[in-house]
């Protein structure tokens, strides 16, 4: 399971709906992206907006918006069915006043 450690830097305003596409960050030699489970903490507060039980996979994008102008950190974790090790990546989102 590979999850890219870096990332895209996205920029927008409080009205921007950001799309997070995990398929560009995840790769596995055995499982396809629709088999790789992912979860998201989209505002870096330690609470998963989409957790394992929500059934998101690396083939599905999620969207989120940020009311507060700031640089926000989004965290992706991914897991395959055969490994105990989760992959992790961070994406930074810069929200500026319109």
User: Considering only 40-48, 55-63, 64-72, 84-92, which stretch makes contact with Ca ion by CB under 5 A?
Assistant: 40-48
In angstroms, how far apart are the furthest CA atoms of the chain?
45
In the list 25, 41, 58, 79, the residue contacting Ca ion (rule: CB under 5 A) is 41
Kindly state the helix (H) or strand (E) to which residue 73 belongs, with its residue range. Answer: strand 70-79
When the beta carbons of 39 and 79 are compared against Ca ion, the nearer one is 39
Position 47 contacts Ca ion (CB under 5 A): yes
In the list 16, 23, 35, 43, the residue contacting Ca ion (rule: CB under 5 A) is 43
When the beta carbons of 41 and 77 are compared against Ca ion, the nearer one is 41
Rounded to whole angstroms, the Cα distance separating 38 from 52 reads 7
User: Considering only 1-9, 39-47, 50-58, 60-68, which stretch makes contact with Ca ion by CB under 5 A?
Assistant: 39-47
Backbone phi, then psi, for 11, in 5-degree steps? -135, 145
Neighbours of 4 (CB within 10 A): 17
């Amino acid at each position: 399971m590979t999850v890219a450690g870096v990332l895209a830097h996205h920029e927008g305003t409080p009205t921007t709906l950001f799309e997070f596409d995990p398929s560009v960050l995840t790769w596995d030699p055995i499982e396809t992206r629709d088999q790789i489970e992912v979860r998201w903490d989209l505002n870096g507060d330690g609470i998963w907006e989409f957790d394992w039980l929500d059934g998101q996979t690396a083939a599905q994008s999620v969207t989120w918006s940020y009311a507060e102008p700031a640089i926000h950190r989004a965290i992706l974790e991914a897991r395959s069915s055969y490994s105990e090790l989760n992959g992790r990546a961070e994406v930074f989102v810069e929200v500026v006043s319109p």
